[in-house]
Amino acid sequence: MAVRQILLSTELPVVACCATGCLEVATTIYPFSAWEIPFIHNAFENSAATISGIETMYRALKKRGKIPADRRIGFIAFGGDGGTYDIGLQALSGALERGHTFTYVCYDNEAYMNTGIQRSSATPVGAHTTTSPCGELEPGKRGYKKNLTQIVVAHDIPYAAQSTPAYYMDLINKANKAIETEGPTFLNILAPCPRGWRADTTQWVELGKTAVETCLWPLYEVIEGKYVLNGVTQRIAEGKAEKRPLEEWLRMQGRFRHLFTEKNKPVIQSAQAKLDKDWERLKAMASL
Amino acid sequence: MEMPKTLPLNGDDAAAFAMKQIDPDVVAAYPITPQTELMQSFSQFVADGEVQTELIVAESEHSALSACVGACAAGGRVMTATSSQGLAYMWEILYIAAGYRLPIVMNVINRTLSGPINIHCDHSDTMGARDSGWLQLYGENPQEAYDNTIQAVRIAEHKDLRLPVMCCMDGFITSHAVERVDLLDDSVVKDFVGEFAPTHPLLDIEHPVTYGPLDLYDYFFEHKMQEIDAMSHAERVVREVSSKYSKVAGRPYGLLEPYGMEDAETAIVVLSSTAGTTRVTAKEMRQAGRKVGMVKIRCFRPFPRDDLVKLLDGVKAVAVLDRSDGLGAYGAPVFNEVRNALYDHDRRPEVVNYVYGLGGRDIGQADIASVYADLADIASTGKVRQRVRYLGVRE
């Protein structure tokens, strides 16, 4: 869903690279390919490195006159939270630091979904996954979700943003900006996975909206270092809309069901406290 | 200024010079001893505008080769270089590069694989990649490092092949030893490698292609057969390109390089710089009337089985020198391939294995002479006391 919106957002012809994961295996089962644009899948952790090579060849061939000087092509690297937050972090950091002109799109469904819902550093605290299951001793994943957007912003790139497909205009606008901006750009997209999150498929839009309305997944951009809050997130910051309690998000999903016991209540409390702290910090950054 | 015909260059600089004359579209690399000088030389060429190459100084070898895959699939000529742990870090991408039929050319400066860590020469790194689908050429000295790099481009890009090629040279022994290197003119090199002709480039946006789909058990095997089929043409392609290059450069190149094999009763089969030591030793022994010979394997992948069998026909005893071991195997890699090749042959010689030089342990003429002495013993008695031996290790 998000991919289609992203590709629709720009008139530039685009070459895409995708890391191993749900997106790639679902869209390219030989002899079929859902991609009507040039596409490459290389390996799991190297989407950003692969796109670096493609983008560099484009510049090399332009320099030699083998590609017309006025031909603009966009380069998009896709990766799940698996191929981005964890195993793909090195390649992403390298590509951002070298300054290639490309857009990295992370579709974050908060676990290694393709291989069977295993925990990633993007998995929220308390979530049950197959490698961080809730059991007699453990309350699901220990440790908070890594803030990848902040790590990317620390690379001082021209544009980074968070979005989610439930707010499709937000996503399309951000994708358009990201793809058309010179230099490295980054989109971190919360991609609800009803299967992995143990929710009904019909709920996926509601899940996205709730994540934003609880300020768990704020919609924001960092444009040349300047923080801008968007849409609902901005209205909540201004006090014009309600910030919903995290519990409402947790109740929607089976992966958090075990948290609603006396024993595990502290997990919810600490998760809410962390969320609030991060939200205050984001608002402070946006007010600079 | 007129172009120099001859320069004193070490192996790293010789390969870098060849890369300069080839002027690839993209190079993506990461430093590792003893490859570092090669990339540093090449980086200076880039910085001085002596090449048009776009250089990606990647943040790791895994990303370097991944970028090479992207760049080559995008539709241009791509080269890189590494050693040891760097090659090991690239390992999964090696198979992808070959599987996607990308004609990437990579110099591998042979250095042992850790652990423990050691920066010196042996062949454990490239031997570990012998089934990856990459061709492997081993250069004995800086001259061969230069010549192999140029030939590798044309071999890799040959329309009947389109497989990546590794040009190997011994770490420090060749990479850091300065020797006289005869150079071709820039225009001759450009002419020899020709223009890159992309197949299914990603940057041809009017004709979109998908690289690397999910290939399940209903199709994978047939697709792998295409790669296997391509490799079956490799021997012919290497032979053809080497022959053409020999005419252009005036230096002979083939798959194997025999010495004294016209009448040799015993022979050593060896790769890379140790061939030089072996040849000198064999020459002295031949001058003293001993019928000894040597076969240097220049092209290890594809393995030149037929030519090797022909050369070893009638020989009584053969020692295969391996600069890496196959732990748990019956003998080391090259020994296994040589003995296997001879298995069907009626007049097959007795074949023994010497593993030597691990971690850069030196091998000299005395060692080689002792091997020939062992072979003489085997030839006269017909007895093999020990099939696999370790040469140069302190017992």
C-beta atoms of B205 and A37 within 8 A = yes
Domain total in chain B: 2
**Average pLDDT over all residues of chain B:** 97
Q: Does B194 touch chain A (CB under 8 A)?
A: no
Partners of A185 in beta bridges: A103, A159
Is residue B86 domain-resident? yes
CATH code of the domain in which B298 resides: 3.40.50.920
Distance from CA of B328 to the nearest CA of A (A): 31
Task: Give the global pTM.
Answer: 0.97
Q: Kindly indicate the confidence band of residue B395, based on its pLDDT and cuts at 50, 70 and 90.
A: confident
Distance from CA of A55 to the nearest CA of B (A): 8
C-beta atoms of A42 and B93 within 8 A = yes
Residue B232 pLDDT more than 90?
yes
Is residue B1 domain-resident? no
The whole-number pLDDT of residue B226 equals 98
C-beta atoms of A49 and B219 within 8 A = no
Residue B3 pLDDT more than 90?
no
Same domain, B155 and B279: no
Residue B35 pLDDT more than 70?
yes
Same domain, B227 and B260: no
Distance from CA of B390 to the nearest CA of A (A): 39
Q: Kindly indicate the confidence band of residue B382, based on its pLDDT and cuts at 50, 70 and 90.
A: very high
* C-alpha–C-alpha distance, residues A241 and A237, integer Å: 8
Residue B138 pLDDT more than 60?
yes
Asked if ipTM goes beyond 0.90, one says yes
Identify the DSSP state of A254.
G
Q: Quote the CATH superfamily of domain A2-286.
A: Thiamin diphosphate (ThDP)-binding fold, Pyr/PP domains (3.40.50.970)
The whole-number pLDDT of residue A2 equals 83
Q: Does B366 touch chain A (CB under 8 A)?
A: no
Helix pair angle (B11-22, B36-47), 10° resolution? 40
Residue A91 pLDDT more than 60?
yes
Q: In residues, how long is chain A? A: 288
Contacts of B78 in chain A (CB under 8 A): 53, 57
Of A13, A29, A90, the CB nearest to B205: A13
* Average confidence (pLDDT) over B93-113: 98
pLDDT tens profile B45-78: 999 999 999 999 999 999 999 999 999 999 999 9
Residue B326 pLDDT more than 90?
yes
Of A15, A49, A64, the CB nearest to B66: A49
The whole-number pLDDT of residue A1 equals 73
Contacts of A97 in chain B (CB under 8 A): 59
Identity of residue B38? L
Same domain, B288 and B243: no
* Average confidence (pLDDT) over A141-168: 97
Rounded alpha-carbon distances, angstroms, from residue B195 to A83, B25, B38: 36, 11, 24
* Average confidence (pLDDT) over A238-253: 97
* Average confidence (pLDDT) over B193-204: 97
Same domain, B164 and B82: yes
* C-alpha–C-alpha distance, residues A18 and A28, integer Å: 11
pLDDT tens profile A11-26: 999 999 999 999 998 9
- Closest residue, chain A, to B211 (C-alpha): A40
pLDDT tens profile A246-274: 999 999 999 999 999 999 999 999 999 99
C-beta atoms of A91 and B63 within 8 A = yes
Distance from CA of B184 to the nearest CA of A (A): 24
* C-alpha–C-alpha distance, residues A259 and B313, integer Å: 76
Q: Decide if B330 contacts B388 (C-beta within 8 A).
A: yes
Same domain, B239 and B337: no
Same domain, B287 and B345: yes
pLDDT tens profile B246-287: 999 999 999 999 999 999 999 999 999 999 999 999 999 999
Residue B47 belongs to domain spanning: 6-249
C-beta atoms of A39 and B211 within 8 A = yes
Q: Decide if B70 contacts A53 (C-beta within 8 A).
A: yes
Q: Does B222 touch chain A (CB under 8 A)?
A: no
Percent of chain B with pLDDT over 70: 99
Same domain, B233 and B339: no
| A to B CB pairs, distance under 8 Å | 161
The whole-number pLDDT of residue B2 equals 60
Domain stops at, among B249, B267, B290: B249
Same domain, B84 and B224: yes
**Average pLDDT over all residues of chain A:** 96
C-beta atoms of B26 and A93 within 8 A = no
List the 286-315 stretch of B: residues with Cβ below 8 A of A: none
* Average confidence (pLDDT) over B233-243: 98
Domain stops at, among B190, B223, B249: B249
C-beta atoms of B66 and A90 within 8 A = no
- Suggest the residue from B27, B61, B203 to mutate for an interface test with chain A (most A CBs closer than 10 A): B203
Of A30, A53, A59, the CB nearest to B214: A30
C-beta atoms of B208 and A64 within 8 A = no
**What ranges do the domains of chain A cover?**
2-286
**Of residues B271, B265, B312, the one with CA closest to residue B285:** B265
